[in-house]
Amino acid sequence: MNRDWIATARTLAEALPYLQRFAGSVVVVKFGGNAMGGVEEMADFARDIVLMRQVGVNPVVVHGGGPMINSMLDKLGIESTFVRGKRVTDQATVEVVEMVLTGLVNKRIVQAIMDEGGRAVGLSGKDDDLMVAEADDPELGFVGRPVEMNVQVLRDLFAAGIIPVIAPVATGMDPNETFNVNGDTAAGAIAGALKADRLLLLTDVPGVKNANGEVVTELTSADVRAMIEDGTISGGMIPKVETALNAVDKGVRAAVIIDGKLPNATLLELFTEHGAGSIIRA
């Protein structure tokens, strides 16, 4: 008998307790623009999401699209200014952000999931008032932070067997306003509102590293705060772990920071004993 078949059967048998453990649970996956890669990488990601749904998990995909937004702003000749390293989002920029995220990127992910046999619907935070935001910093313009979450539409989609794919664009308290919300922040807010079992933040690093440069596989909230204070966690990792901490504080069972370019990263985390990346619990 083919050894590959035997290995596949053994893997499925070993995964059974984890498949049972996560059946019926909600898993929010943040899929960043830098993790999307090309057509093959997108298909691999979509296949994993469809498999999750097939075994009874309710996945929610929240995506970014920074590289695609930058490309479109360049094509349109819209120059960006930055305050403390963050892009100022004026009216012209937020219109491009909405166009790229809700149109180009969102529909690409929806199509990839459908190509793999899943059912998916693309939404933005504006749909059914899913995410209402206010200005995070007046100097940054239309960059928002969620202040109201209305997740019933997501539960309705779960009941219908449909995978929600969400662009992090929100309406304001004034319905005529549109806000660009950081993708990690949006994913954390959605996971918290759903009391998700897992928040998976797919990024371009293998996880949280200690002072020796080794990935730490398990962390408590207290560990993370201590590592921020002593400078072990710094730079771009700080907003990711802060998103994880906020989600855990809001009732998410655990948040995981994973290398999104690792093949089958989400399946390794959910359905194997060793998992993947760095898991943060309360």
Other C-beta atoms within 10 Å of 196: how many? 28
Strand pairing of 143-149 and 178-181?
parallel
Q: What pLDDT score does 253 carry? A: 94
Is the Cα dihedral 221, 227, 231, 233 positive or negative? negative
pLDDT per residue of the chain (282 residues) written in tens, 0 to 9: 566 776 766 766 676 766 667 778 999 999 987 667 788 889 999 999 999 999 999 999 999 988 899 999 999 999 888 777 677 899 999 999 999 999 999 999 999 999 999 999 999 999 999 999 999 888 999 999 999 999 999 999 999 999 999 999 999 999 889 999 999 999 999 999 999 999 999 988 888 988 888 888 899 989 999 999 888 998 878 888 999 999 999 999 999 999 888 888 888 888 777 778 899 997
Domains in the chain: ranges and CATH: 15-281 (3.40.1160.10)
The pLDDT value recorded for residue 113 is 97
Q: What is the per-residue pLDDT for 198?
A: 95
As given in the structure block, the two tokens for residue 181 are 């919300």
Q: For residues 21 and 15, what is the distance between their CA atoms, to the nearest angstrom?
A: 10
pLDDT for 15: 66
pLDDT of residue 11: 67
Tokens of 211: 């002072």
Phi/psi region, residue 29 (left: phi>0; alpha: psi -120 to 50; beta: rest), is: beta
Nearest to 55 by CA among 23, 28, 79: 23
pLDDT value at residue 56: 93
Q: Tell me how far the alpha carbon of residue 272 is from its chain's centroid.
A: 20
Question: Given this model, what pLDDT does residue 23 score?
Answer: 79
What letter would DSSP give residue 232?
S
